[in-house]
Structure 1
Amino acid sequence: MSSLNPSIPSDELEAKLCERLGKLDLAAKVRLLSGADFWSLPADDSIGLRSIVFSDGPAGVRGEVGDERNPSLNLPSGSALGATWDVDVARRYGDVLGREALRKNADVVLGPTINLHRSPYGGRHFEAMAEDPLLTARLAAAYVEGIQAHGVAACPKHYVANDYEIERHTASSEVGERALRELYLAAFEDAIVEARAWVVMSAYNGVNGVTMSENDLLRDPLKTEWGFDGVVLSDWIAVKTTDASANSAQDVVMPDLLSPWGDALVEAVREGRVAESTIDEKVLRVLRLAARVGALDGVEPASRAAGEAPEPLSIVTELGAESMVLLRNADELPWSLAPASIAVIGPNAMCARSQGGGSATVVPGRVISPLEGLRQHFPDASISFDMGVPAPTEIFPLDRDLLGDPVAETPGVHVVFSAADGTVLLEEVRLSAELAWMGTMPEGATTLTMQTRYTPAITQRCDVGVAVAGHVSLSIDGETVIDRFSTAESAGSRDGGLETSDITANIFAPPVTAVPVDLVEGTPIDLVAVCDLTTAPLPMVHAIMIGMAPRSGPDELMLAEAVAAAAAAEVAVVVVGTSSRTESEGIDRTSLALPGGQDALVEAVLAANPRTVVVVNAGSPVLMPWHDRASAVLVTWFGGQRTGTALAEVLAGEREPGGRLPTTWPGDEQAVPVGPDRPVDGKVHYAEGIDIGHRAWLKQGATPAYCFGHGLGYTTWNMSDLTVPTEVVGGEPFSLSVTVRNTGDRPGKHVVQVYAARGSSEVSRPVRWLAGWSVVRADPGEAVRVEVDVPARSLAAWVDGKWWYETGAFDLLVGASVDELPLQATVVVGS
């Protein structure tokens, strides 16, 4: 075995890889550049190459099959990670994912998602980290380092300017060169240049009229200026051409389904339209990846991190608390004395969103809801629960513990795939009634039948139904109660604020049909769903859920019951949030309002109980017209599978809410600088240039509900004695220092934020922009001298095709958010 470390380029390793390349004929080489199936690249025994396995999951590792029988760890989502503002936390996050990938036999984790929160309407922003390129870049690089320390490849995505879902397969992002360099490419740069990611995913969209799988940006700056020596991987079914994409710096096309390479690419080479040397370079990159992940016999994989693995569920709880942002606290939290009674209210309290919808979805073993977390943590309190409003998703997944397979007479759900002639192609017992097959359905299947026996735990009136696209029938105790055909497009938005033209919404937010049913404790009902797969919108991909949601009666009665419970309790906890039909891959929002009647619910509860804590379970900004009247407002994001545990520990004061906003939260939609910017004639114009996020809010002089960087803890802080170098050399980094004192009576976390400004400049500048930050943790009364690094690029501008360092004075403003900056100094940049 070679002692080479393939994560470090060397002439010796390259020679070994070229030797193996030389053993392959043209067809064999081309075969390595397209998927062997939906999730892996082909093996080739002649050169000792095994298959390389990819896995979805920026916030978890699904593996080749997303299956509840082999559950995945469900971490807080990308925007939650962004809210930590902590590079060390991001590295630990990546470390957990690297360990999970090894457990799941995955070689490449398709993450992190690095796209910026350009507009709050982007339906997939929960997956990305922040509105700011510097914050995103630093966290993303640490995430990559954490994963790759285990010999598993990270795959930053989606390169580049992929910030919307509508027409994402075809639209072109029209971006000026300066904004492209200073924002959208800058967000990726650290993950490539510093963390040396081994794979990068090209985006569906085009940039400035050229689809990304054919765009020169894959070569310059990625492979030239940044020195990327890994594999450029396509997004799934993104590549549509043979010659143009092969002649670009695109290296691998996924999956095997609908690939335009294969035999067509062999023919293109033989006819001279694509040079064989171009193919050789791509294959060499694949072999380099194989060496790094241990897929190449005779080459030792990249060294893997040693040390004891952290307890997975404990770290999910810790990450959940680290990311929570306390927006408002009118002396309510933490609860130093446990309340005697708590009214828990809201659909998301019963069934919280632990993750966003789409390819980021993994199947966790168990999700602790806010309701369950509070009941576990406060066993002596009287805790009631009321929905208050109907579920925005109409139904929730059935509790797995209450399901029985009536055929096998075991726990679970009986699943059968059949051919047109009735032949059974696959028969199995599953543990959940919420299932998805991503390229794993048996070939030739035309019918899917699901059967389960559900035994209610309590007597209540519920809506029972099915969520699936295509034709489905549902019977309850032998009586057909649903028989319909529907797609996400035909069903439209059920909760307002949904816009989709993407067929993938049929998988991630399928239409729901439900009927009222009176359930009796201990009395089982038999449920049978039959899907006609010939009417399904996507080949080889299907998702279905049989579910229920409590509904005591008309909306007015549900609201009145919740208000009465709140009035009778010592404190009320209202959990509001978005739904899988609001924030998901394939969807953009048309409104930032909470779906359904949740705002009216909060208003009514606030009127009934002044001690009301509102918990916001959303992956990106929502409007909160009641925020300044709640006793506390806490954003939990999509907090992972222990979100309820983390919430209870934060409310009790056992953990501090450690998050700060990575994205500006508006108070009203009229003031949002970059609104729901839909493609026009196939183009999205990034006309705002470099002014997105807090930069845009400052430029237009508008005041959001909560600004970038804002977040409260459970202690107080004082900053003093700011020291800044008098003069620095343009193009070189520098640091400043400040004394930070914990002036409260609890240990805590503080994020020292540094913003730059320039009153007069030869180029347009934002009013101020993030230039650096540092995380401080200190005990009561402790003073810490903190250094904050300011990267050279923080003061640069992209002018005439290069980085330009303007000389003269820059103001440096230091504080706790973009709008709370008590300290200021000036640094002079010399030539």
Structure 2
Amino acid sequence: MSDWSVPADRPEYDGAVEAALAKMDLETKADLLAGLDMWRTIAVPEAGLRSMTVSDGPIGVRGRFWTVADPSLALPSPTAQAASWDPELVRRIGNLLAAESRRKDVDVLLAPTINLHRSPLGGRHFEAFSEDPYLTGRIAQAYVAGVQECGVGTTMKHYVGNDAETDRFTVDNIIGERTLRELYLRPFEMVTAAVRPWGVMTAYNSVNGRTMTAHKELMAVLRDEFGFDGFNVSDWGAARHTVEGVEAGLDLAMPGPFTVYGEHLVAAVREGRTSETYVDDAVRRMLKLAARVGALEGVRAAADERIEAIADPEALLREIAQRSFVLAQNNAPEGGAAPILPLHADAIRKLALIGPAAAEARILGGGSATVFPTNVVSPLDGLREALGDRVQYAQGVDLFEQIRPAGSDFDLKVRPMRTDGTELPAEPLANGDVKWMGYLPGGLPRDEFDRAVLDGVFTVTETGDHVFGTRGFGHHKLVIDGDVVFDADQSYETDDPFEAFFGPGVERVTLHLEAGQRIPVRLEFSPFSFPPGFPPSVLFGLMHTGPRPDEDRLITEAVEAARAADVAVVVVSTTALTESEGFDRRDLRLPGRQDELVAAVAEANPNTVVVVNTGSPVEMPWSDDVAAILLTWFPGQEGGHALANVLLGAEPGGRLTTTWPRRLEDAPVVQVVPKDGELHYDEGIFIGYRAWEQRDSFEPAYWFGHGLSYTEWEYEDLVVDGGEAKIRVRNAGQVTGREVVQVYLAPESGLNIEGGIETHRLAGFASIEAAPGETVEVTIPLEERSFQFWSEADHAWRTVPGAWAVAAGRSVADLRLRALVKRH
């Protein structure tokens, strides 16, 4: 286990904080806690305090502006990052994110997400690390250490129980005390103990009857028991109570300035409903954050090494992706003795690459994690770069679900218009979506904004019927080729402010166009009002869908391509309507006719490799019929290069961080929809592999920790000495490879602990590399907490006495060595 060295506070911080506090009146303090705008806090020059900027993560640093004009690096998803099972690699990820933060003048990254994969239906599954609290905690420790050692703050989120998206603003999650302590609070405890995070974000949801932004008891656990000394920021729009919030320890209510603090907090103090002491405590924590990140005059920032750039970040992005890919299945093709992967470039005359996600890379999930990279390498790009014209591409299916933002065939810009009719400079758009979140371009005051004008040219690439539409809560005037095709209001019936912001696209007109035409397009948009409680935000979109292809023809073409090729690689994926913040999944099926496509291709060519480009589990009814399955998650902007490298021989280093069911109905936990406003965690501690091991009738598709290698590994010896497990492993194959040595504990006695005890629990792991024939010995510490459970009777951790089995292996279902250790 790594001994993280993290920046310590300077001795002069306390004095500087008190001196700055003394220079603020009540109104200023309340405004500091209310935020300046969507992403910034106010500056207080007389106290030596500059404004601080926070930014969404965790797969990239978006900064203050959600626009292609301010691009960001796009990393593999957190599910992928954790699949490396390598804290040192994740620490480097943190360094990279810190460099990006510095480039964008960001002081605090709103990450990492350390909620758990309670159910595979969780819509934000891709943004969290694992179903296991220990693995989540270890990966999060490295993430936080990597960011903060470079002088940028982090916020552990979402504290706590934000494990699903359905009714997330109002749901009351009913979670037992033992379950809270052993599962959902444990990663927060681990990160706090090891790396002293500078921030935490409290969630929208309630837990056991109290909203998290005003949950005095659970904030006391974090601060008084775990020792958290950072600042507490609400999720955006989550703070609902002025007095209860400040007295529970909510320091910053975002976004500003129209929050429950500011003038509301001043009134509460003046009227005697709360004490200014609570306000001062919150301001002290904000000033300590300022000192740590270098925003307070007269003191040095906590980190001496304030990283500004990473050399060759694209190479690191490729390495992260390669190390995250999980080789779930790798069989020998018909008549072959060796597994189909890796492919040998010199033996391939023709490779059929199939699937819409092979050409249009699916690199990230939807929601606040979205960033705009300058360059995205698709699987088609990566494989053609490696194999040239030996790669034949076939689309295979059409994944159209609803009208989408205007895409790459449009050259678009958008500009704001003043109420006096003058316009500000235009900015380019990556697609038809405009997201001015919490700001107006050019610093335009909200009372001077009249409307936004999006215009440009559509170059028609395909003859046929083209559908144009609009998205956004307001008045739209859509002009296509000089004709006004829609001029009216557009509204939605919803209580979810995020759906009101974004909303679905609505089809407005269908036009028959010829390939080669250049069509002027224009969309003028005026919001009905700015969203209440938020800074001025303008969110709308020009939508478009081209001619829909004949899917039967597409599948036939894909089958013909597969039949003529030496090997077929099918890339299957979810869509933006499948995995995203804001909603949970209804099922685990791949969208559209992708299952049918894979089955048809596999029948035509037994040498079929399926690349699963999703952030979380999906059903794979064709798994027995294909030679290999490679899970690539959302692999970030360098995913295409990483895929080509792995298919052609680079070791796929990933291991599963969550158990994959064969079918949704087999999954232990599928309830994510509240009933009467409550979601009961009735399964207790039994989620993920803990739950699967309690069942006799169902086997998952792939167990937690599973992942194949391009070499063979032999586990030769296990010795438990005191608080350490020493494991000797040998690379018995023909190529250099990476292995994740996993250690699990299980009590030998069938103790009757209230609520049950797991068959196994992850207690340690190590990522190693070895050459052919090389032997590696690793020492894995075993924490005392791994031998304990939370006693609800005593409200304390208690060691389970007696003999414990210590098992080491390649996954929770492939444990190859075993030893006993006693606990008293």
1:333 to 312, 337, 341: 341
Aligned to 2:590: 594
Deviations 1:287-342 (CA, angstroms, capped at 9, x unpaired): 10000100011111122437872311111111111111111112221111352222
1:511 to 495, 505, 512: 505
Over 3 Å counting, the alpha-carbon distance change for 1:366 and 1:544 in structure 2 is farther
Which residue identity does 2:457 align to in structure 1?
A: R
Q: Give the match's secondary structure for 2:53.
A: strand
Contact persistence 1:398–1:546 (CA under 8 A): no
Which residue identity does 1:362 align to in structure 2?
A: V
CA distance in 2, matches of 1:509, 1:648: 37
Shift of residue 259, structure 1, vs aligned partner:
0.3
Shift of residue 281, structure 1, vs aligned partner:
1.0
- Once the two structures are overlaid, the 10-residue window that deviates more, 787-796 or 320-329, is 787-796
CA distance in 2, matches of 1:483, 1:348: 35
Over 3 Å counting, the alpha-carbon distance change for 1:204 and 1:123 in structure 2 is same
2:385 to 370, 373, 376: 376
CA distance in 1, matches of 2:382, 2:6: 45
Asked if residue 753 in structure 1 is aligned to residue 749 in structure 2, the reply is no
CA distance in 1, matches of 2:677, 2:607: 50
Aligned to 1:820: 814
Contact persistence 1:742–1:748 (CA under 8 A): yes
- Once the two structures are overlaid, the 10-residue window that deviates more, 331-340 or 315-324, is 331-340
Aligned to 2:784: 792
Asked if residue 767 in structure 1 is aligned to residue 759 in structure 2, the reply is yes
Aligned to 1:576: 572
Which residue identity does 1:740 align to in structure 2?
A: V
Q: Give the match's secondary structure for 2:704.
A: coil
CA distance in 2, matches of 1:826, 1:685: 37
Matches within 5 A, 1:346-365: 346-365=355-374
Shift of residue 219, structure 1, vs aligned partner:
3.1
Asked if residue 272 in structure 1 is aligned to residue 276 in structure 2, the reply is no
Matches within 5 A, 1:183-332: 183-305=183-305, 309-330=310-331, 331-332=339-340
Shift of residue 436, structure 1, vs aligned partner:
1.6
Matches within 5 A, 1:522-561: 522-534=516-528, 540-546=536-542, 551=547, 553-561=549-557
Gaps of 5+ in 2: 332-338
Which residue identity does 2:585 align to in structure 1?
A: R
Q: What TM-score do the two structures reach when normalised by structure 2?
A: 0.92
Contact persistence 1:695–1:766 (CA under 8 A): yes
CA distance in 2, matches of 1:506, 1:589: 20
Aligned to 2:334: none
CA distance in 2, matches of 1:641, 1:467: 28
Over 3 Å counting, the alpha-carbon distance change for 1:94 and 1:403 in structure 2 is same
How many residues align? The count is: 796
Shift of residue 268, structure 1, vs aligned partner:
1.3
CA distance in 2, matches of 1:17, 1:672: 51
Over 3 Å counting, the alpha-carbon distance change for 1:94 and 1:249 in structure 2 is same
Q: What value does the CA root-mean-square deviation take over the aligned residues?
A: 2.4
Over 3 Å counting, the alpha-carbon distance change for 1:676 and 1:475 in structure 2 is farther
Task: Give the share of equivalent positions with the same residue, in percent.
Answer: 42
Shift of residue 520, structure 1, vs aligned partner:
5.6
CA distance in 2, matches of 1:271, 1:535: 32
Contact persistence 1:751–1:773 (CA under 8 A): yes
Shift of residue 537, structure 1, vs aligned partner:
7.5
Q: Give the match's secondary structure for 1:80.
A: helix
Contact persistence 1:30–1:265 (CA under 8 A): yes
Shift of residue 781, structure 1, vs aligned partner:
1.1
Which residue identity does 1:664 align to in structure 2?
A: T
Over 3 Å counting, the alpha-carbon distance change for 1:821 and 1:473 in structure 2 is farther
Deviations 1:566-588 (CA, angstroms, capped at 9, x unpaired): 22222222111111111111110
Contact persistence 2:56–2:62 (CA under 8 A): yes
Shift of residue 425, structure 1, vs aligned partner:
5.5
Aligned to 2:662: 667
Asked if residue 36 in structure 1 is aligned to residue 44 in structure 2, the reply is no
2:454 to 450, 464, 472: 450
CA distance in 1, matches of 2:607, 2:22: 72
| Structure 1 residue ranges (4+ consecutive) displaced by more than 6 angstroms after TM superposition | 482-490, 514-519, 535-539
Q: Give the match's secondary structure for 1:798.
A: strand
Asked if residue 612 in structure 1 is aligned to residue 608 in structure 2, the reply is yes
Q: Give the match's secondary structure for 1:70.
A: coil
Q: Give the match's secondary structure for 2:94.
A: helix
Shift of residue 424, structure 1, vs aligned partner:
4.2
Q: Give the match's secondary structure for 1:220.
A: helix
Contact persistence 1:357–1:508 (CA under 8 A): no
Aligned to 1:410: none
CA distance in 2, matches of 1:572, 1:473: 47
Deviations 1:750-776 (CA, angstroms, capped at 9, x unpaired): 111111112412412012121111111
Aligned to 1:409: none
Over 3 Å counting, the alpha-carbon distance change for 1:551 and 1:613 in structure 2 is farther
Q: Give the match's secondary structure for 1:98.
A: helix
Q: Give the match's secondary structure for 2:159.
A: coil
CA distance in 1, matches of 2:621, 2:530: 40
Contact persistence 1:389–1:601 (CA under 8 A): no
Shift of residue 680, structure 1, vs aligned partner:
1.0
Shift of residue 218, structure 1, vs aligned partner:
4.6
Asked if residue 738 in structure 1 is aligned to residue 734 in structure 2, the reply is no
Deviations 1:661-719 (CA, angstroms, capped at 9, x unpaired): 10111101111111032111111101111111111111123211111111112111110
Aligned to 2:426: 428
Matches within 5 A, 1:630-779: 630-653=626-649, 655-701=650-696, 702-725=698-721, 728=722, 734-758=723-747, 759-763=749-753, 764-779=756-771
Which residue identity does 1:142 align to in structure 2?
A: A
Deviations 1:337-362 (CA, angstroms, capped at 9, x unpaired): 35222222222122222111111111
- Once the two structures are overlaid, the 10-residue window that deviates more, 534-543 or 716-725, is 534-543
Over 3 Å counting, the alpha-carbon distance change for 1:79 and 1:756 in structure 2 is same
CA distance in 2, matches of 1:396, 1:605: 31
Shift of residue 136, structure 1, vs aligned partner:
0.2
- Once the two structures are overlaid, the 10-residue window that deviates more, 442-451 or 700-709, is 442-451
Deviations 1:472-509 (CA, angstroms, capped at 9, x unpaired): 4544423456678767878xxxxxxxxxx734245567
Contact persistence 2:243–2:265 (CA under 8 A): yes
Shift of residue 271, structure 1, vs aligned partner:
2.2
Contact persistence 1:755–1:768 (CA under 8 A): yes
Q: Give the match's secondary structure for 2:100.
A: helix
Deviations 1:596-655 (CA, angstroms, capped at 9, x unpaired): 2211121122122222211111111111111121121111111111111111111111x2
Deviations 1:251-307 (CA, angstroms, capped at 9, x unpaired): 111111530111121121122221111111111111100001000111111224378
